[in-house]
Amino acid sequence: MMQKLTAAITAVNGWVPEDKLTNFDLEKMVDTNDEWIRTRTGIIERRILKTPGLGTSDMAAPAVLELCKKRGITPAEIDCLIVATVTPDMVFPATANVVCDKIGAVNAWGFDLSAACSGFLFALTTGASYIESGRYKKVVVVGADKMSAIVDYSDRNTCVIFGDGAGAVLLEPNDAGEGILDSILKSDGSGRNYLHMKAGGSVKPACIETVTNREHFAYQEGQTVFKFAVKGMADVSAELMERNQLKAEDIAWLVPHQANLRIIDATANRMGLDKEKVMINISKYGNTTAATIPLCLWEWESRLKKGDNVVLAAFGGGFTWGATWVKWAY
């Protein structure tokens, strides 16, 4: 029998701005301190895209260009490019279009996918389906967010958490049973009240009042989101393991969304995984929303081995959450 076609990750890359925003910098901006931020979140510093006039596409484009170089292909060979983001360059057109233009992906179509911190997993599963169906040979999935564009740097509840960055993977067909093997994705729109941007959409278009009331920034009820995140990420990861008869010892790596070290620890515990098997870089980048998972894969790329079982897991605004099983292909 012919092996089912799967979508393998064949290259990974990341891009982060050079400018760092440290806990000590934040101490000068709001009533907070390094000790609180470290112990409550695990974050020490984040990267910020400071240059005026630059947006999410300016992080995604270099990430994808280098991704192509690593794999030895030209951007013109990309069939489809998906950008997971909640901080698009503009409301429209899609950031994916802008990225394709900036890198010369002249034969690609693409679109943006909005699922906040779960965006990369949602986009990865979507992109994998195009490969599995046989429709496309090269799909690029990007997770990129310029959170500094929507963070209120006078709100200590949110400004200590977020950072900017972009990560990308290339998906190609595989007939050896490697790649994206299973995903469980979930959403619950009743969670929208706890993490959202109040204005700037069609419900509440921008006006003087929305600006004065600081409603164009990310709003989060941290404690509530925290509770749902701990349960959601752990439950869905356990469900994915059970459905695929994966035991803790079968899993080489957990790649969790980097929102809070305590949420990551809870998920790893529930899965029965030792800390050494968990990719954690939250201390350096904070929460880069859709970029956290590909940025981890990028950083750990040299330690990943062909055949490794890797579980990706995320929880975010929406609410959205999910877990994906990847068998590493190189």
Other CB atoms within 10 A of residue 13 CB: 26
70: exposed, middle or buried (C-beta count within 10 Å: 0-12, 13-18, 19+)? middle
244 binding ligand UT7? (CB under 6 A): no
Hey, which bits of the chain come out as E strands? 6-15, 20-22, 45-47, 80-84, 109-113, 139-146, 164-174, 179-187, 195-197, 218-220, 253-256, 309-316, 320-327
Question: Partners of 168 in the beta sheet?
Answer: 13, 142
Of the two residues 195 and 266, which places its CB atom closer to ligand UT7 in the complex?
Answer: 195
Of the two residues 17 and 256, which places its CB atom closer to ligand UT7 in the complex?
Answer: 256
d(CA 150, CA 147): 5
3-state class of 292 per DSSP?
Answer: helix
Question: Partners of 22 in the beta sheet?
Answer: 45
Of the two residues 41 and 125, which places its CB atom closer to ligand UT7 in the complex?
Answer: 41
Of the two residues 7 and 225, which places its CB atom closer to ligand UT7 in the complex?
Answer: 225
Find all residues with CB under 8 Å of 230, minimum gap 6, and list them: 262, 263, 266, 267
Rounded to the nearest whole angstrom, what is the least distance from the CB of residue 42 to ligand UT7 in the complex? 9
104 binding ligand UT7? (CB under 6 A): no
Of the two residues 119 and 127, which places its CB atom closer to ligand UT7 in the complex?
Answer: 119
Rounded to the nearest whole angstrom, what is the least distance from the CB of residue 238 to ligand UT7 in the complex? 18
Residues 176-205 that bind ligand UT7 (CB under 6 A): 195
267 binding ligand UT7? (CB under 6 A): no
Rounded to the nearest whole angstrom, what is the least distance from the CB of residue 322 to ligand UT7 in the complex? 13
Mind telling me the catalytic residues? 117, 257, 287
Map residues 215-234 to x or -, x wherever contact with ligand UT7 holds by CB under 6 A.
-------xx-xx--x-----
Rounded to the nearest whole angstrom, what is the least distance from the CB of residue 117 to ligand UT7 in the complex? 4
3 binding ligand UT7? (CB under 6 A): no
Map residues 128-167 to x or -, x wherever contact with ligand UT7 holds by CB under 6 A.
----------------------------xx--xx------
Rounded to the nearest whole angstrom, what is the least distance from the CB of residue 205 to ligand UT7 in the complex? 26
Cis amide leading into 93 (omega within 30): yes
Other CB atoms within 10 A of residue 125 CB: 18
d(CA 243, CA 12): 27
282 binding ligand UT7? (CB under 6 A): no
State the Rg of the chain over Cα. Answer: 19
Among the listed residues 7, 117, 131, 166, the single contact to ligand UT7 using CB under 6 A: 117
266 binding ligand UT7? (CB under 6 A): no
What is the SS3 string spanning 18-43? CCEEEHHHHHCCCCCCHHHHHHHHCC
Q: Which stretch binds ligand UT7 (CB under 6 A): 16-24, 33-41, 170-178, 245-253?
A: 33-41
Rounded to the nearest whole angstrom, what is the least distance from the CB of residue 157 to ligand UT7 in the complex? 5
Residue 156: both structure tokens together: 């200590």
User: Which residues of this protein are in contact with ligand UT7, per CB under 6 A?
Assistant: 32, 36, 40-41, 117, 156-157, 160-161, 195, 222-223, 225-226, 229, 259-260, 263, 287, 315-316
